Amino acid sequence: MIKMRTKWTYIPTSAVDALDEAFVDWEEHFIPTQSPHTPAVTAMKNDARRRVEPIVRNFVQQFLRWPPVTDGDLVNMNLPLRDLTRTPHIEVTEMVEFELTLRHIREIMVNFWEKGRLNLAKPAGYDGAVIVWDVLDTPPDNPDQLNRHEMASRTPHTLSFIEEERGKTVYITAAWQNERGNRGNWSEIQSAIIP
């Protein structure tokens, strides 16, 4: 850190001191894990990492992403270079198609795929399908009336129910969600009797 203190005088001493303390904390708990150790030692190392990571991340974001720090400086510190490419807002245009199948008692499987495609893979760059459902006495007018939800990263996805819900009707719909958290349009609402 001494080199940094002399090169980048705009960084407050208190911020560098906090980074130094975080490094000492991490090193103190990391070094014991480099030889045979107990699960307790691993847990202490993991706790130290949870404490230290936000300090390091904030320091990098606040002080090392802007001039006078150069790309060469970032490479020397093993930090990723600045990403100057604007990522476009990605709309989710694909739709989910799905079918419901009964599996065991208190379980319904949701087999889903991209509408218009024969394979069961989710679209590239997507987290998966957001599945919303609820057990209701009457059909819902729209997906906003379905209060339970899960992210399904693979198909088929199993929905589980409690004993008291057996014989009742569940209403289900789904939509794709991309890695940026953008969600597409809901599919048609389907229903099934809970086995």
CA 55 to chain centre: 21
Nearest residue to 122 (alpha-carbon basis) of 89, 157, 170: 157
Q: Which domain covers residue 100, as residue numbers?
A: 96-193
* pLDDT for position 64: 82
Whether residue 86 lies inside any domain: the answer is no
Q: What is the pTM of this model?
A: 0.55
In this structure, the answer to whether residues 103 and 56 fall within a common structural domain is no
In this structure, the answer to whether residues 100 and 188 fall within a common structural domain is yes
Whether residue 85 lies inside any domain: the answer is no
Whether residue 87 lies inside any domain: the answer is no
Whether residue 84 lies inside any domain: the answer is no
Which CATH number goes with the domain that contains 156? Answer: 2.60.40.10
* pLDDT for position 87: 58
End residue of a domain, out of 76, 104, 138: 76
End residue of a domain, out of 19, 44, 76: 76
* pLDDT for position 63: 83
Where helices occur in the chain by DSSP H, the ranges are 2-7, 13-30, 39-59, 71-76
Whether residue 154 lies inside any domain: the answer is yes
In this structure, the answer to whether residues 18 and 101 fall within a common structural domain is no
Whether residue 158 lies inside any domain: the answer is yes
Weakly modelled stretches of the chain, pLDDT under 50 = 1-2
In this structure, the answer to whether residues 119 and 43 fall within a common structural domain is no
